[in-house]
Amino acid sequence: MKALIAVLILTMVGIMSLSGCTTRQKNTIKIEGAYALTPMMEKWVLEYNKIHPDINIDINANGAGTGMRDALSGIADIGMYSKAVNKTSIEQGAFWVSVAKDAVVATINSDNPVIDIILAKGVTKQQFKDIFITGNITTWGELVGNESITDPINLYTRSDDCGAAETWAQYLGNYKQLDLTNAVKNAVEKGRVGAAMNGDNLLATKIQADKWGIGYNNIGYVYTKKISDTVVVPADGIKPVPIDINENGTLDENERVYENRSSIVTAINDYVYPSPPARALHVVTLHNFTGITKEFVSWILTDGQQYVLETGYVPLPEETIALQIQYLMNGTRPEIQQ
Protein backbone atom coordinates (compact mmCIF):
# COMPACT_ATOMS: atom_id res chain seq x y z
CA MET A 1 0.00 0.00 0.00
CA LYS A 2 2.84 2.42 0.80
CA ALA A 3 4.34 1.64 -2.61
CA LEU A 4 1.00 2.49 -4.24
CA ILE A 5 0.84 5.81 -2.41
CA ALA A 6 4.41 6.54 -3.49
CA VAL A 7 3.49 5.93 -7.13
CA LEU A 8 0.45 8.17 -6.79
CA ILE A 9 2.55 10.93 -5.26
CA LEU A 10 5.07 10.78 -8.10
CA THR A 11 2.25 10.90 -10.63
CA MET A 12 0.71 13.86 -8.83
CA VAL A 13 4.00 15.73 -8.80
CA GLY A 14 4.28 15.24 -12.55
CA ILE A 15 0.80 16.56 -13.12
CA MET A 16 1.42 19.57 -10.90
CA SER A 17 4.63 20.46 -12.71
CA LEU A 18 2.69 20.60 -15.96
CA SER A 19 -0.47 22.25 -14.67
CA GLY A 20 0.94 24.79 -12.27
CA CYS A 21 2.29 27.12 -14.95
CA THR A 22 -0.98 27.25 -16.84
CA THR A 23 -3.63 27.23 -14.09
CA ARG A 24 -2.01 29.34 -11.39
CA GLN A 25 -3.59 32.77 -11.68
CA LYS A 26 -3.24 33.94 -8.09
CA ASN A 27 -1.25 33.15 -5.01
CA THR A 28 -4.13 33.16 -2.53
CA ILE A 29 -6.25 30.24 -1.38
CA LYS A 30 -9.47 31.05 0.45
CA ILE A 31 -10.80 28.43 2.85
CA GLU A 32 -14.21 28.56 4.57
CA GLY A 33 -16.31 26.16 6.59
CA ALA A 34 -16.43 23.59 9.34
CA TYR A 35 -15.24 24.47 12.82
CA ALA A 36 -14.36 20.78 13.22
CA LEU A 37 -11.60 20.91 10.62
CA THR A 38 -10.32 24.42 11.41
CA PRO A 39 -7.61 23.58 13.99
CA MET A 40 -6.24 20.88 11.69
CA MET A 41 -6.35 23.21 8.69
CA GLU A 42 -4.54 25.91 10.65
CA LYS A 43 -1.73 23.46 11.39
CA TRP A 44 -1.53 22.39 7.75
CA VAL A 45 -1.37 26.01 6.59
CA LEU A 46 1.35 26.79 9.14
CA GLU A 47 3.53 23.92 7.94
CA TYR A 48 2.78 24.44 4.25
CA ASN A 49 3.77 28.10 4.43
CA LYS A 50 7.17 27.09 5.77
CA ILE A 51 7.93 25.51 2.40
CA HIS A 52 5.68 27.76 0.29
CA PRO A 53 5.90 31.22 1.89
CA ASP A 54 4.67 32.84 -1.32
CA ILE A 55 1.21 31.26 -1.00
CA ASN A 56 -1.33 33.21 1.05
CA ILE A 57 -3.97 31.00 2.66
CA ASP A 58 -6.94 32.60 4.41
CA ILE A 59 -9.04 30.47 6.77
CA ASN A 60 -12.47 31.36 8.12
CA ALA A 61 -14.44 29.03 10.42
CA ASN A 62 -18.14 29.64 9.80
CA GLY A 63 -19.79 26.21 9.74
CA ALA A 64 -19.87 23.29 7.33
CA GLY A 65 -23.00 24.49 5.55
CA THR A 66 -21.42 27.84 4.74
CA GLY A 67 -18.24 26.06 3.65
CA MET A 68 -20.18 24.00 1.13
CA ARG A 69 -22.21 26.94 -0.15
CA ASP A 70 -19.17 29.19 -0.53
CA ALA A 71 -17.22 26.47 -2.32
CA LEU A 72 -20.06 25.80 -4.77
CA SER A 73 -20.57 29.51 -5.43
CA GLY A 74 -16.86 30.12 -6.01
CA ILE A 75 -16.50 32.43 -3.01
CA ALA A 76 -14.08 29.92 -1.46
CA ASP A 77 -11.45 27.77 -3.15
CA ILE A 78 -11.85 25.14 -0.44
CA GLY A 79 -14.83 24.39 1.75
CA MET A 80 -14.15 22.54 5.01
CA TYR A 81 -16.97 20.03 5.41
CA SER A 82 -17.83 17.74 8.31
CA LYS A 83 -20.93 15.96 7.05
CA ALA A 84 -21.61 13.31 4.44
CA VAL A 85 -21.86 15.05 1.06
CA ASN A 86 -25.46 14.73 -0.08
CA LYS A 87 -26.96 14.18 -3.52
CA THR A 88 -28.08 17.79 -3.87
CA SER A 89 -24.55 19.10 -3.37
CA ILE A 90 -23.20 16.55 -5.84
CA GLU A 91 -25.76 17.64 -8.44
CA GLN A 92 -24.63 21.24 -7.90
CA GLY A 93 -21.05 20.26 -8.75
CA ALA A 94 -19.47 19.36 -5.41
CA PHE A 95 -16.19 17.48 -5.54
CA TRP A 96 -14.40 16.46 -2.36
CA VAL A 97 -11.69 14.35 -0.80
CA SER A 98 -11.54 13.11 2.78
CA VAL A 99 -8.53 14.27 4.77
CA ALA A 100 -8.88 13.19 8.43
CA LYS A 101 -11.33 12.00 11.06
CA ASP A 102 -12.60 13.29 14.39
CA ALA A 103 -15.71 13.02 16.61
CA VAL A 104 -18.42 14.91 18.43
CA VAL A 105 -18.87 14.46 22.19
CA ALA A 106 -21.65 15.57 24.51
CA THR A 107 -20.38 18.18 26.96
CA ILE A 108 -21.35 19.34 30.46
CA ASN A 109 -19.98 21.77 33.01
CA SER A 110 -17.27 20.39 35.29
CA ASP A 111 -19.29 21.64 38.32
CA ASN A 112 -22.41 19.74 37.25
CA PRO A 113 -24.29 18.61 40.40
CA VAL A 114 -24.24 14.92 39.41
CA ILE A 115 -20.98 14.78 37.50
CA ASP A 116 -19.46 12.06 39.69
CA ILE A 117 -22.40 9.76 38.97
CA ILE A 118 -22.29 10.52 35.25
CA LEU A 119 -18.56 9.81 35.05
CA ALA A 120 -19.08 6.52 36.86
CA LYS A 121 -22.15 5.28 34.99
CA GLY A 122 -22.03 7.05 31.64
CA VAL A 123 -25.11 7.99 29.63
CA THR A 124 -26.86 5.68 27.17
CA LYS A 125 -27.95 6.63 23.67
CA GLN A 126 -31.61 6.47 24.76
CA GLN A 127 -30.92 8.84 27.64
CA PHE A 128 -29.18 11.26 25.29
CA LYS A 129 -32.19 11.01 22.96
CA ASP A 130 -34.54 11.77 25.85
CA ILE A 131 -32.49 14.87 26.67
CA PHE A 132 -31.73 16.22 23.18
CA ILE A 133 -34.77 15.08 21.15
CA THR A 134 -37.89 13.98 23.03
CA GLY A 135 -37.52 16.08 26.17
CA ASN A 136 -38.52 13.13 28.36
CA ILE A 137 -35.57 13.83 30.68
CA THR A 138 -35.58 17.40 31.96
CA THR A 139 -33.68 17.28 35.28
CA TRP A 140 -30.31 15.92 36.32
CA GLY A 141 -32.06 13.82 38.96
CA GLU A 142 -34.16 12.10 36.31
CA LEU A 143 -31.00 11.29 34.39
CA VAL A 144 -29.25 9.59 37.32
CA GLY A 145 -32.34 8.05 38.90
CA ASN A 146 -32.58 10.30 41.96
CA GLU A 147 -35.87 12.18 42.14
CA SER A 148 -34.67 14.29 45.06
CA ILE A 149 -32.29 16.10 42.68
CA THR A 150 -34.39 18.66 40.85
CA ASP A 151 -31.70 20.75 39.16
CA PRO A 152 -32.90 21.46 35.61
CA ILE A 153 -31.08 20.38 32.46
CA ASN A 154 -30.37 23.51 30.43
CA LEU A 155 -30.27 22.52 26.78
CA TYR A 156 -27.93 23.98 24.16
CA THR A 157 -27.40 23.35 20.46
CA ARG A 158 -25.84 25.08 17.43
CA SER A 159 -27.58 27.75 15.38
CA ASP A 160 -25.21 27.62 12.38
CA ASP A 161 -25.57 24.95 9.70
CA CYS A 162 -22.93 22.57 11.00
CA GLY A 163 -21.59 19.05 10.84
CA ALA A 164 -21.40 18.68 14.62
CA ALA A 165 -25.16 19.07 15.03
CA GLU A 166 -25.94 16.83 12.06
CA THR A 167 -23.53 14.15 13.30
CA TRP A 168 -24.86 14.26 16.88
CA ALA A 169 -28.44 14.05 15.59
CA GLN A 170 -27.54 11.05 13.42
CA TYR A 171 -26.02 9.30 16.42
CA LEU A 172 -29.28 9.73 18.33
CA GLY A 173 -31.28 8.15 15.52
CA ASN A 174 -32.77 9.17 12.20
CA TYR A 175 -32.66 12.85 13.14
CA LYS A 176 -31.44 16.14 11.69
CA GLN A 177 -30.06 19.36 13.14
CA LEU A 178 -33.59 20.78 12.96
CA ASP A 179 -34.75 18.19 15.50
CA LEU A 180 -32.12 19.41 17.98
CA THR A 181 -33.22 23.00 17.35
CA ASN A 182 -36.88 22.15 17.85
CA ALA A 183 -36.10 20.37 21.13
CA VAL A 184 -34.43 23.51 22.46
CA LYS A 185 -37.37 25.65 21.30
CA ASN A 186 -39.81 23.30 23.03
CA ALA A 187 -37.77 23.41 26.22
CA VAL A 188 -37.74 27.21 26.24
CA GLU A 189 -41.49 27.36 25.56
CA LYS A 190 -42.01 25.21 28.65
CA GLY A 191 -40.01 27.60 30.80
CA ARG A 192 -36.65 25.85 30.73
CA VAL A 193 -33.32 27.45 29.85
CA GLY A 194 -31.94 26.74 26.38
CA ALA A 195 -30.29 28.42 23.43
CA ALA A 196 -28.76 27.84 20.01
CA MET A 197 -25.17 29.05 19.78
CA ASN A 198 -23.38 30.21 16.65
CA GLY A 199 -20.20 28.15 16.44
CA ASP A 200 -18.29 25.47 18.31
CA ASN A 201 -16.35 27.90 20.45
CA LEU A 202 -19.43 29.80 21.64
CA LEU A 203 -21.23 26.56 22.52
CA ALA A 204 -18.24 25.38 24.54
CA THR A 205 -18.07 28.75 26.31
CA LYS A 206 -21.77 28.53 27.17
CA ILE A 207 -21.31 25.09 28.76
CA GLN A 208 -18.34 26.38 30.75
CA ALA A 209 -20.55 29.15 32.14
CA ASP A 210 -23.62 27.04 33.02
CA LYS A 211 -23.26 24.29 35.63
CA TRP A 212 -26.65 22.86 34.61
CA GLY A 213 -26.00 23.01 30.87
CA ILE A 214 -25.51 20.24 28.33
CA GLY A 215 -24.45 20.52 24.71
CA TYR A 216 -22.07 18.88 22.25
CA ASN A 217 -18.76 19.83 20.69
CA ASN A 218 -16.12 18.64 18.28
CA ILE A 219 -13.26 17.21 20.31
CA GLY A 220 -10.90 19.94 19.08
CA TYR A 221 -12.91 22.48 21.08
CA VAL A 222 -13.05 20.36 24.25
CA TYR A 223 -9.48 19.11 24.56
CA THR A 224 -7.59 22.40 24.55
CA LYS A 225 -5.66 22.51 27.84
CA LYS A 226 -2.04 21.54 27.24
CA ILE A 227 -0.45 19.83 30.26
CA SER A 228 2.76 18.87 28.47
CA ASP A 229 4.06 18.43 24.93
CA THR A 230 2.17 15.13 24.69
CA VAL A 231 -0.80 15.53 27.04
CA VAL A 232 -3.86 17.68 26.24
CA VAL A 233 -6.91 17.51 28.52
CA PRO A 234 -10.38 19.10 28.52
CA ALA A 235 -10.44 22.86 29.06
CA ASP A 236 -11.29 24.19 32.51
CA GLY A 237 -15.01 24.18 33.15
CA ILE A 238 -16.02 21.56 30.56
CA LYS A 239 -16.18 17.78 30.57
CA PRO A 240 -17.09 15.28 27.84
CA VAL A 241 -20.03 13.07 28.78
CA PRO A 242 -19.01 9.39 28.54
CA ILE A 243 -21.23 7.07 26.52
CA ASP A 244 -22.40 3.86 28.19
CA ILE A 245 -22.02 2.01 24.90
CA ASN A 246 -23.20 -1.43 26.07
CA GLU A 247 -25.91 0.14 28.25
CA ASN A 248 -25.12 -1.94 31.33
CA GLY A 249 -25.49 0.94 33.74
CA THR A 250 -21.79 1.38 34.45
CA LEU A 251 -18.82 2.76 32.59
CA ASP A 252 -16.62 -0.23 31.79
CA GLU A 253 -12.86 0.06 31.50
CA ASN A 254 -12.92 0.05 27.69
CA GLU A 255 -15.50 2.87 27.78
CA ARG A 256 -13.27 5.13 29.89
CA VAL A 257 -11.65 6.91 26.96
CA TYR A 258 -12.12 10.60 27.79
CA GLU A 259 -9.24 11.44 30.14
CA ASN A 260 -7.13 13.21 27.53
CA ARG A 261 -7.00 13.91 23.81
CA SER A 262 -4.78 10.94 23.10
CA SER A 263 -7.19 8.51 24.76
CA ILE A 264 -10.25 9.71 22.83
CA VAL A 265 -8.29 9.77 19.55
CA THR A 266 -7.16 6.19 20.16
CA ALA A 267 -10.76 5.16 20.86
CA ILE A 268 -11.91 6.72 17.59
CA ASN A 269 -9.05 5.14 15.66
CA ASP A 270 -9.78 1.70 17.17
CA TYR A 271 -13.54 2.03 16.51
CA VAL A 272 -14.28 1.84 20.24
CA TYR A 273 -15.99 5.22 20.11
CA PRO A 274 -19.08 4.84 17.89
CA SER A 275 -19.44 6.27 14.41
CA PRO A 276 -21.43 8.49 14.35
CA PRO A 277 -20.61 10.60 16.34
CA ALA A 278 -17.12 9.86 14.97
CA ARG A 279 -16.92 10.84 11.29
CA ALA A 280 -14.62 11.69 8.38
CA LEU A 281 -13.76 15.29 7.51
CA HIS A 282 -13.55 16.59 3.94
CA VAL A 283 -12.35 19.43 1.77
CA VAL A 284 -14.75 20.36 -1.02
CA THR A 285 -14.69 22.52 -4.13
CA LEU A 286 -16.67 23.16 -7.30
CA HIS A 287 -16.08 20.45 -9.95
CA ASN A 288 -12.40 19.78 -9.14
CA PHE A 289 -9.35 21.25 -7.45
CA THR A 290 -6.95 23.09 -9.77
CA GLY A 291 -3.69 25.02 -9.70
CA ILE A 292 -2.18 26.00 -6.37
CA THR A 293 -5.28 24.77 -4.54
CA LYS A 294 -4.80 21.31 -5.97
CA GLU A 295 -1.13 21.40 -5.00
CA PHE A 296 -2.06 22.27 -1.43
CA VAL A 297 -4.68 19.50 -1.18
CA SER A 298 -2.16 17.05 -2.64
CA TRP A 299 0.30 18.05 0.08
CA ILE A 300 -2.41 17.55 2.75
CA LEU A 301 -2.96 13.99 1.53
CA THR A 302 0.75 13.19 1.49
CA ASP A 303 3.28 15.10 3.60
CA GLY A 304 0.54 16.81 5.57
CA GLN A 305 -0.70 13.55 7.06
CA GLN A 306 2.27 13.48 9.46
CA TYR A 307 0.65 16.30 11.45
CA VAL A 308 -2.77 14.69 11.92
CA LEU A 309 -2.19 12.76 15.13
CA GLU A 310 -0.17 15.47 16.87
CA THR A 311 -2.95 17.97 16.19
CA GLY A 312 -5.55 15.74 17.87
CA TYR A 313 -7.18 14.18 14.83
CA VAL A 314 -7.37 10.60 13.57
CA PRO A 315 -5.51 9.66 10.36
CA LEU A 316 -7.54 7.89 7.71
CA PRO A 317 -6.35 4.38 6.77
CA GLU A 318 -3.61 4.24 4.13
CA GLU A 319 -5.92 2.60 1.61
CA THR A 320 -8.46 5.40 2.10
CA ILE A 321 -5.80 8.06 1.59
CA ALA A 322 -4.62 6.28 -1.57
CA LEU A 323 -8.17 6.45 -2.93
CA GLN A 324 -8.44 10.15 -2.11
CA ILE A 325 -5.23 10.80 -4.05
CA GLN A 326 -6.64 8.94 -7.02
CA TYR A 327 -9.87 10.95 -6.83
CA LEU A 328 -7.86 14.18 -6.64
CA MET A 329 -5.78 13.26 -9.70
CA ASN A 330 -8.79 12.15 -11.73
CA GLY A 331 -11.09 14.98 -10.67
CA THR A 332 -13.97 12.64 -9.97
CA ARG A 333 -15.10 9.92 -7.59
CA PRO A 334 -17.63 7.05 -7.70
CA GLU A 335 -20.41 8.99 -5.99
CA ILE A 336 -20.27 11.64 -8.72
CA GLN A 337 -20.28 9.11 -11.54
CA GLN A 338 -23.41 7.32 -10.31
The tens digit of pLDDT for each residue in 200-212 reads 999 999 999 999 9
At 4, the pLDDT band (50, 70, 90 cuts) reads very low
What is the per-residue pLDDT for 53? 97
User: In terms of pLDDT, which residue wins out, 22 or 178?
Assistant: 178
305-311 mean pLDDT: 97
What is the per-residue pLDDT for 319? 97
What is the per-residue pLDDT for 156? 99
107-122 mean pLDDT: 98
User: At 31, phi and psi to the nearest 5?
Assistant: -120, 130
Query: What's the CATH number for 2-100+280-337?
Result: 3.40.190.10
User: In terms of pLDDT, which residue wins out, 221 or 6?
Assistant: 221
Statement: residue 250 has pLDDT above 90: yes
71-89 mean pLDDT: 97
Statement: residue 74 has pLDDT above 70: yes
What is the per-residue pLDDT for 78? 99
What is the per-residue pLDDT for 135? 98
Alpha helices of 173-285 — where are they, by DSSP H?
Answer: 177-189, 200-209, 261-269
At 322, the pLDDT band (50, 70, 90 cuts) reads very high
292-308 mean pLDDT: 98
Q: How far apart are CA 289 and CA 97, in angstroms?
A: 10
Q: In angstroms, what CA-CA distances link 259 with 147, 211, 220, 296, 338?
A: 29, 20, 14, 34, 43
Q: Are 155 and 206 in contact (CB under 8 A)?
A: no
Statement: residue 16 has pLDDT above 50: no
In eight-state DSSP terms, residue 150 is -
Mean pLDDT of the chain: 93
Write down the pTM of the prediction. Answer: 0.90
Name, in order, each residue with C-beta under 8 angstroms of 54's C-beta and a sequence gap of 6 or more.
27
120-124 mean pLDDT: 98
265-291 mean pLDDT: 97
Element containing residue 278 per DSSP (H, E): strand 278-286
- Amino acid identity, position 199: G
pLDDT in tens, 141-165: 999 999 999 999 999 999 999 999 9
Statement: residue 332 has pLDDT above 80: yes
Closest C-alpha to 34, from 71, 73, 79, 76 = 79
Closest C-alpha to 41, from 56, 27, 60 = 60
In eight-state DSSP terms, residue 26 is -
Percentage of residues in the chain having pLDDT higher than 90? 91
What is the per-residue pLDDT for 20? 37
User: At 124, phi and psi to the nearest 5?
Assistant: -80, 165
At 337, the pLDDT band (50, 70, 90 cuts) reads confident
Q: Which CATH architecture has domain 104-269?
A: 3-Layer(aba) Sandwich (3.40)
Q: Are 107 and 209 in contact (CB under 8 A)?
A: no
Domain ranges across the chain: 2-100+280-337, 104-269
